[in-house]
Structures are given as structure tokens and as C-alpha cells.
Structure 1
Amino acid sequence: MNYLNDLLFGIYPYIALAVFVLGSLIRYDRDQYTWKTGSSQMLESKMLRKGSMPFHVGIIMVLAGHFVGLLTPHQVWDVLGITASMKQVFAMAMGGFFGLICFYGLTILIIRRFTNERVKASSSSMDNAILLLLYAQLILGLASIFVSAGHLDGAEMLMLMSWAQNMVTFQVADAAAAIANVHWIYKLHVFLGMTLFLVFPFSRLVHVWSVPLKYFRRNYQIVRTKQSNS
């Protein structure tokens, strides 16, 4: 069992992240014409508009919360006077709030993907698989809130923080040991999260790299109406 734990939570994350980075670079270099969202807005727009915004807002906030929550050393929270228990309750509240927003949007997008014949016909197997993987991951995350509610001491949260921070500093043995005794639902959540990184370069998720940040720094555009010659 220790070997499996070391493999899944000590070695597998590095494999997934290596594929994530190198696969994205290779795809951009070799297949730039596939580097797109593959939007199906022209096929159906009403449900897309209804689901897309809450999905994107929810998932961005959830990811930001995971990033800050897992990678900020607990000493920083101690200096701020935030105990592990307080941090866990806050994480449950914010994660649940934005998780439900994301769940609402993603549910609409999945219904649209599998029930609209035109959208369904234009979808690839990878498109469908990514949506279902994201859905499963989101459901696991929301379900873990109920597990966390059973113990508000923040102990397992500290273990997950230790795992993430040891992974970043390449302390593989310490990382695997830190996560060994957490509840299975957290382990499955982590494993599925790493799997999403693994399949990222082979899906339309690569469009995340192309977020138009330059838009916020571009010059204003002056638009004039055409004057009639009368």
C-alpha cells in the first residue's frame, strides 16, 4: 500500500505536470491550428451563454482558492492570526459557494453537449471526456465539504497543504507521507486533478494558455459611425 501511495501521490503528479508543460509546448509548436476553444456558439447560443459565464467564474475562483490555500505556508496564516480551523471553515464556505456556481454552469453545458443534436454531432470524444472529468472532479470537491464538516480541526487540510508544498520543493518522500492518512475522497480528488493536467495538452483546454491578457493593455479604439453623403 505504501508503494501505491508513493506512486500515485509522489511520482504520478510529476509525470502529469511534465506532460502538461511539455505536451502543451509541443502541441503549440506542431499543431497551432488546433490551439482553439472549438466554440460551438454558432450551433447553439442560448444555453451556452447561460452556462458559460457561471462555469468560468466558478472554476477560476475555485482554482485560485486551491492555489492560495494549498501553497501558502501555514506560518503565514499563523502570523495573520488565522488558525487551521478558521481557514478550513473559510475554505469550505468559499469553495462551496463558487463550486456550486461552477456546478450550475457546467451542468447546463453538459446537458447542452449531450442533448443538442447539432452540438453533439460536432463534439469529439475528448470534448465529452473532459466535460465529464471536470464534472466528476467538481462533484468530488463539493462532496469533500461534507467530509470536512465532520472534523473542523483543520488537521487533514494541513496534511494536504504539506503534500502540495513538499511536491513544489521536490520532497517526494515527505509529500507522499503527508497525504498517506487523509480521507480517500481527498486522495481521489487529488488524483483526478493530476489526471486533468495529464490530458490537458490533448484537449481544447489548451486555450487557457491563450487568455487575452493583452486586451487590458491595448490602446483605446475610436469607432466612428459612417456619415451619409446627403
Structure 2
Amino acid sequence: MNDLNHLLFGIYPYIAFTVFLVGSLIRYDREQYTWKTSSSQLLEKKWLRRGSLPFHIGVLAIFGGHFVGLLTPHEVWHVLGVSAPHKQIVAMAAGGIFGLLCLYGMTILLVRRLTNERVRATTAKMDIVILLMLYSQLLLGLTSIFVSAGHMDGTEMLKLMSWTQNIVTLNGSVASGYIADVHIIYKLHVFLGMSLFLVFPFSRLVHIWSVPVKYVSRSYQVVRAR
């Protein structure tokens, strides 16, 4: 069991991140014409508008919360006067709010993708796989809130923080030990999260790399009136 735990949470993350980075570079170099969102807006607009905005707001807030919450050392939170139980309450509240917002948007997008004949006709198998993986990951995240409610001392949250920070500092053998005895819901959530990085280069998710940050500083476009 210890060997399996080390494989899944001490070695697999590095395999996933290597494929994520190298695969993205290779795809950008060799298949730039596939580097796009493959938008289906022209095929159906009404439900896309209803689902896209809450989904993107929710997923960006969740990702940002995970990034800051897991990678900020506990000592920093202690200096700021934020205890582990207090941080857990904030994480549960914010995760619940933005998780439900994201779930609302993603449900609309998933139903639209599967039931609209025109949209379904332009949908690749990988699109369905990614949507189902994201949906499952979101449900696991929301379920973990109820698990966290059973122990408000923040101990398992600290273990997940230690796992993340040790993975980032290339200390996988130590990292796997922190996550060995956490609840199975957290383990599934982490494993599926790593798996999303693994399949990232082979899906339309690569468009995330192309965030249009230049739009902020570019000159205004001059559009002539008819």
C-alpha cells in the first residue's frame, strides 16, 4: 500500500506535469492550427452565454484559491494571524460558493454539448472526456466540503498543503507521506487533478496558455461606421 501511495502521489505528479509541459510545447510547435478553443458559438448562442460566464468565473476563482491556499506556507498564514481552522472555514465557504457557480455553468455547457445536435456533431471524443473529467473533479471538490465539515481543526488541509509544497520543491518521497492517511475523497480529488494535467496537451484546454493579456495594453481598434 505504501508503494502504491508513493507511486500515485510521489511519482505520478511529476509524470503528469512533464507530459503537461513537454506535450504543450510539442503541440504548439507542430500543430498550431489545432491550438484553439473550437468555439461552437455560431451553432448555438443562448445556452452558451448562460453557461460560459458562470463556469469561467467559478473555475478561475477555484483555481486561484487552490493556488494561493495550497502553495502559501503555513508560517505565512500564521504571521498574518490566520489559524488553520479559520483558513479551512474560509476555504470551505469560498469553495462552496464558486464551486456551485461553476457547477451551474458546467451543467449547462455539458447538457448543451451532449443534447444539441449541431454542437454534438462538431464535438470530438476528447471534448466529452475533458468535460466529464472536469465535472467529476468539481463534484469531488464539492463533496470534500462535507468531509471537511467533519473535522474543523484543519489537520487534513495542512497535510494537503504540505503535500503540494513538497511536490513543488521536488521532494516527492516526503510529499507522498503527508497524503497517505487523508480521506479517500481528497486522494481522488488530487489524483484526478493530476490526470487533468496529463491529458491537457491532447485537448482544447491548451487555449488556456493563450490568455489574451495583450488586449489590456493594445491600441484601440478603429472601426468605420457604415
Separation in 1, partners of 2:111, 2:75: 44
1:20-56: CA deviations, max 9, x gaps? 0000000000000000000111111110011000000
Aligned to 2:21: 21
Q: Which residue of 2 aligns with 1:6?
A: 6
Report whether the alignment pairs 1:105 with 2:109. Answer: no
Instruction: Quote the offset at 1:224 in angstroms.
Output: 4.4
1:49 aligns with 2:49: yes
C-alpha distance in 1 between matches for 2:38 and 2:196? 18
* Cα deviations by residue, 1:132-154 (Å, 9 ceiling, x for unpaired): 00000000000000000011000
User: Superposition RMSD on alpha carbons, in Å?
Assistant: 0.8
Code of the residue aligned with 1:33 in structure 2: it is Y
Equivalence map 1:1-230=2 (5 Å): 1-226=1-226
Q: Give CA-to-partner distance per residue, 1:105-163, whole Å, 9 cap, x none.
A: 00000000111011111101000000000000000000000000011000000000000
| Deviation beyond 6 Å, 4+ runs, structure 1 | none
Deviation string, structure 1 residues 171-224 (Cα, Å, up to 9, x no partner): 111100011010000000000000000000000000001110000011233444
5+ residue gaps, structure 2, are none
Gaps of 5+ in 1: none
TM-score (norm 2): 0.99
The letter of the residue matching 1:214 is: K
Query: Could you state the TM-score of these two structures normalised by the residue count of structure 1?
Result: 0.97
In structure 2, distance between residues paired with 1:82 and 1:211: 33
Task: Give the % identical residues.
Answer: 69
CA distance in 2, matches of 1:192, 1:221: 42
